Chain A
Amino acid sequence: GAGVSQSPRYKVTKRGQDVALRCDPISGHVSLYWYRQALGQGPEFLTYFNYEAQQDKSGLPNDRFSAERPEGSISTLTIQRTEQRDSAMYRCASSLQGPGQSEKLFFGSGTQLSVL
């Protein structure tokens, strides 16, 4: 596709439910990042993939959050037993190469998660 695609665009769920957020990066992009952005704040790093390898998950808030990228392309961020504090915009970004090379991050439109 022409850009990073995220789905769904909006997700409303009830507290305690599991949600899965999908990211389809730009074709050929090696690096994939997940961020969370609260209103009026900058993006907060969650996790990073190089191809299918999850090389940094230091930003995942707790063990309810997990992510995978099994074939080195599409990635899924899963939040189990959602809580109201999980409500935020979740953004995926991809880049062509890893650090030290082309580092420009291309962001998707994000998934706005609301936990009721």
Chain B
Amino acid sequence: QKEVEQNSGPLSVPEGAIASLNCTYSDRVSQSFFWYRQYSGKSPELIMSIYSNGDKEDGRFTAQLNKASQYVSLLIRDSQPSDSATYLCAVRKQGYQKVTFGTGTKLQVIP
């Protein structure tokens, strides 16, 4: 079982719609959760971090964490073509420094 699992996509949504990206993780002692965005040919960049159960909102982005279900999600409201990228879920376990990434979900926002 992979430590961090994501559907590779592509996920296609029309412009202005809500994009929902999902991630599951295997280790219950995971402590820190991140969403990175990676444009084609570029490096990953952090867009959201979340540490406790519930929702965390930042502009058009909302991260959701459910530790009981070992599930992290990212919602992008009012999706724009510029949001088209691969979204990487990343997890760090308590007591460890290693940050483990999923394979990423490719998002396509159709104008």
* CB closest residue in chain A, given B104: A42
Partner of A55, one of B31, B46, B90, B97: B97
> Which secondary structure dominates where chain A touches chain B?
loop
CB of A103 within 8 A of CB of B32, answer yes
> Contact check: which of B44, B45, B46, B96 meets A43 at CB < 8 Å?
B44
Flag if A43 contacts B88 (CB, 8 Å).
Answer: yes
| A42→B97 contact, CB < 8 A | no
Given the complex, which residues of B lie within 8 Å of A58, measured CB to CB?
98
Q: Which residues of A lie under 8 Å from residue B98 when comparing CB positions? A: 45, 48, 56, 58-59
Is A25 interfacial (CB-CB < 8 Å)?
Answer: no
- Mask, B68-111, CB within 8 Å of A = 1, is 00000000000000000000101010001111111110000000
The answer to whether residues A98 and B99 also contact, given A42-B88, A107-B43, A109-B43 and a CB cut-off of 8 A, is: no
Other 17 A-B pairs with CB < 8 A, given A45-B99, A55-B97, A91-B43: A35-B101, A40-B8, A41-B103, A42-B90, A43-B101, A44-B101, A50-B97, A56-B97, A98-B97, A99-B92, A99-B96, A99-B97, A103-B32, A104-B46, A104-B49, A107-B44, A110-B43
Q: Which residues of B contact A (CB under 8 A)?
A: 4, 6, 8, 31-32, 34, 36, 43-46, 49, 88, 90, 92, 96-104
Total contacting residues, chain A, CB less than 8 A = 25
A4-37: which residues lie under 8 A (CB-CB) from chain B? 31, 33, 35
8 closest Cβ contacts across the A-B interface? Answer: A42-B101, A107-B43, A48-B97, A43-B101, A42-B103, A104-B46, A42-B104, A45-B98
Shortest beta-carbon distance from B29 to chain A in Å: 13
List chain A residues, Cβ under 8 A from B90: 42
Pick the contact of A42: B49, B92, B102 (CB < 8 A).
B102
B100–A45 contact, CB under 8 A? yes
